Amino acid sequence: MSANTDRYENAVARYFEAWNAGDPEALAKAVTAAWAVDGGYTDPLADVRGHEQIAAVIAAAHAQFPGFAFRLTGRVDGHHDTARFSWELVSEADRSAPVAGSDVITLDAQDRITSVFGFLDRVPAGA
């Protein structure tokens, strides 16, 4: 495994730590570790910048899907300062995964996320 591959995988691991943080303090710490100060997050439902707004989007997802966790599906692929990966939102109770998507992230020189462009591949009706 190359150093560059480690770079992308480590950044994505920090990303999932933020998305799976269990309480507001852990969430704030994980977002700070994963994103650059002026980093952004954009998907069909949100377009935000900065740690506080990113944490608010993640907290809203937790409120909408309590008892669910995000997990990587497949492998992380990257080049230069960009990586892409796919994920599922999995129920801790029955292991169902009603939501799935693919994200593209860009990284700064410290390997913190400067932008996320998220795509929803599977969403339940009414969500």
Q: Which residue has the tokens 């980093």?
A: 39
Using one digit for the tens of pLDDT, what is the confidence trace for 44-82?
999 999 999 999 999 999 999 999 999 999 999 999 999
pLDDT of residue 125: 79
User: 102: helix, coil or strand?
Assistant: strand
pLDDT of residue 1: 44
E-state strands within the chain = 40-43, 46-49, 68-79, 82-91, 99-107, 113-122
CA-closest candidate to residue 13, choices 34, 32, 35, 43: 34
Using one digit for the tens of pLDDT, what is the confidence trace for 8-54?
999 999 999 999 998 999 999 999 999 999 999 999 999 999 999 99
Residue type, 87: W
Predicted TM-score (pTM) of this structure = 0.93
CA-closest candidate to residue 43, choices 111, 108, 109, 100: 100
